[in-house]
């Protein structure tokens, strides 16, 4: 990520980057916090939309797409997660918060989908699916970069969202897995 990208993500000019921050650690902490805020806003919107408009797989798909876009924008955090946490332990809290918030929100949405009759699965299966979806979102932040130039990022993000959505889509219909 270039200084221009970082400054843009933080809403400041590149020339002011080191005026506002003493070094890389402060910059990474600010970017991680901005990512956390974005994820929280997306998850709040997902929860509000599900409650207001009713639970649907289409709504979930839209928000999974947005979460993967956010993870793509913050892919440098995922790329170096272990090293960043070792150098800056407070970042572990950001990673934990994002993962836990995604998992619990997705579990609640999947439960709502089950109650609406859109999915057929036990609570234990829904918990497992929410965990796998959360892992998939983070994985795709890295995988999209590793797969190389196989199309515009928007198309690659859409493919990633489709892959994550295979999990709940497998629970559509009768029978209780």
Let me know: does 134 contact 104? Beta carbons within 8 Å.
no
Confidence of residue 5 (pLDDT cuts 50, 70, 90): low
Structure tokens at 106: 């997705």
Query: Structural domain boundaries of the chain?
Result: 24-169
Q: What is the pLDDT of residues 76-93, one digit of tens each?
A: 788 777 777 777 778 888
Residue 150 DSSP class: S
Q: What is the pLDDT of residues 33-76, one digit of tens each?
A: 999 999 999 999 999 999 887 778 999 999 999 999 999 888 87
Phi, psi of 170 (to 5 degrees): -70, -15
Give the CATH superfamily of 24-169: Tetracycline Repressor, domain 2 (1.10.357.10)
Q: What is the mean pLDDT of the chain?
A: 85
- Collect all residues with Cβ–Cβ distance below 8 Å to 135 and sequence separation of at least 6: none
Measured between alpha carbons, how far is 91 from 134 in angstroms, rounded to an integer? 18
């Amino acid at each position: 990520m270039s200084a221009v990208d970082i400054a843009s993500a933080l809403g400041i000019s590149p020339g002011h980057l080191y005026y506002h921050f003493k070094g890389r650690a402060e910059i990474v902490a600010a970017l991680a916090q901005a990512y956390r805020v974005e994820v929280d806003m997306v998850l709040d919107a997902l929860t509000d939309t599900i409650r207001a408009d009713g639970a649907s797989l289409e709504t979930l798909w839209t928000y999974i797409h947005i979460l993967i876009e956010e993870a793509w924008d913050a892919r440098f955090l995922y790329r170096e997660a272990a090293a960043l946490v070792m150098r800056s332990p407070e970042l572990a809290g950001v990673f934990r918060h994002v993962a836990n918030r995604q998992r619990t929100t997705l579990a609640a949405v999947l439960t709502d989908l089950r109650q609406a009759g859109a999915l057929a699965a036990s609570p234990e299966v829904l918990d497992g699916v929410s965990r796998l979806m959360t892992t998939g979102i983070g994985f795709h932040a890295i995988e999209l970069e590793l797969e190389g130039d196989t199309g515009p990022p928007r198309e690659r993000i859409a493919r990633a969202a489709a892959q994550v959505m295979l999990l709940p889509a497998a629970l559509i219909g009768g029978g209780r897995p």
